[in-house]
Structure formats: structure tokens, C-alpha cells
Amino acid sequence: MTDRLIQFALRHRALVLVAAALLLALGTHTAWRMPVDVFPDLTAPTVAVITEAHGMAPLEVETTVTLPIESALNGAPGVRRVRSSTAVGVSIVWVEFEWGADPYRARQIVGEKLPTVAATLPPEVEAPQLMPETSIMGEVLFLALTSDRQTPTEMHTWADTVLRRRLLAVPGVANVTPTGGGERQFQVVLSPARLAAHGVALGQVVEALRAANENISAGFLNHRGSEYLVTGVGRFQSLADIGETVVTLRHGVPTRLADLGEVRVGGIAASG
């Protein structure tokens, strides 16, 4: 068979050269358009769900947060395996789908399941969130910010409100997490002596702050053919607004937050 093939090639040299040239051109065209993936993604389509439970112990998070989420996601269509990891105040659940599943369809399935279990979680637990779609082969870049004029709190605020949003607008960026520096806070430092003197409990202060810092819609008013929106604007605009919050009212005399302590701007160590 080999001898006949060699004899055929020798007798039809032109045909063999033309066929070889066509195969070479076809191979070059295919190789040029072929996507090059030196390290292919070897993981099945996976959706990660993170739930924050501030102040809860790992065992409590496992029983009241992780297990209900796993039970709700185990029966989802196309799910092949559910894994989880529980730590202090945080629960992470990985939902793996069958090979070849559409990742966006997988995220939709998980997103439809989460509201059904969110209502059964403890009140102090935040709603479960889908983590950004990433791969184990994705690149992680670290950017460092330094300044001789800005404080760590100001740098963290700028990175969180300006730089993070600009980086998220770059195509291909899945998530940006600012770390380090200080997280800006409006702090109310209460005096135990003033609280006792005015007969005010800490829970009353917290409830007064929560109730005062909101805007309320009151519908609209029709007047001479025009429609006017009626809105009660109550959100804090400055530190003075916080200090003027009325906590209690006794015999027509209000007890303001400024009478119970100090309102200031501070910062705490920020972590990712």
C-alpha cells in the first residue's frame, strides 16, 4: 500500500503539490482563527453565594444560614454539587452546575431560589448576595494608593466612591474591593452620665436616629391645573442635623441628641 502511494505521488507530482498547498493554506487559516488557551478553565460553571451574619459564631452561621441556603439550592435544575464554607459572621456557598451549562442561566436559577430562603434567615443576617462571575484563571491585580496630603480615611473614601466605579466600568473587570485605610463614619459618642441624667436608654437613641433619617412621600397636590409633589425631607445633611435629632419629649421640653453626647466624623480600619 505504501509503495503504491509513493508511486502515485511520483507520477502525479503536480496534483500532490497542489493538494499540499491547499492543505497548508487551510491549516494556516484554521490555526490563525483558532482561540489559543494555554490554561483552559477546568471548573464546571459555578455560582457563589455570600451571606454576612455580623457577630454570629461559625456554628450558629452553619445551622441558621448555610444549611437553609444549601437545602434551597440542592434541588435547583442542573445542579450537580453544592459546597459551602462557614466562618465567623460569613457564609459562602458554591453551587456547581453540569458541564456546558450557560453561566448566566445558572446565575438566574440561583437568583430565583435565594428570595425563597432569605425570608427564613434570622433578622440580623443580611440578604444573600451573588458574587461576581469569575474564574479560577482570572487575574487579580493590586493597586496601591499613597498620598502626603490626604488622610487614610479620605483616601479610602475616594477609592470607594471614585476609583472603584471607574475600574468597574472597564470591560472584563468583575469586582473591585477597596481595602486598607479607614472607612468614613458619622459617629455618635454618648455620655452615660447624660443618659442617666435625662432618663434616656440607648435603644431610644438608636430608634430616634433610625426614624429621623428618612424622607417620606406624601403624594401630590393638585392646584389650578398643576400637580405638585409633596415630600417630607428628613435625611441628615450635616453633623448639626444629627445633633438636633429629638430623642424624647417630656413636658414639652425636647431632649436632643447633642444633649446626650457628641456627634463627630471618624473612621475605622477598613477590610475587604
Q: Using 50, 70 and 90 to split pLDDT, how confident is the model at 136?
A: low
Whether the CB-CB separation of 191 and 261 falls below 8 Å is answered with yes
pLDDT tens digits, 189-216:
899 999 898 888 888 898 888 888 887 7
Q: At what angle do helices 67-74 and 103-118 cross, to 10 degrees?
A: 130
The answer to whether the Cα torsion of 244, 269, 66, 131 is positive or negative is: positive
pLDDT tens digits, 223-266:
888 888 888 777 888 888 888 888 888 888 899 988 898 888 87
Mean pLDDT of 79-95: 88
pLDDT recorded at residue 166: 92
| DSSP tag of 136 | T
Q: Using 50, 70 and 90 to split pLDDT, how confident is the model at 138?
A: low
Q: Can you tell me the distance from the alpha carbon of 47 to that of 72, in angstroms, rounded to the nearest whole number?
A: 14
Q: Is 92 exposed, middle or buried (0-12, 13-18, 19+ CB in 10 A)?
A: middle
Whether the CB-CB separation of 156 and 182 falls below 8 Å is answered with yes
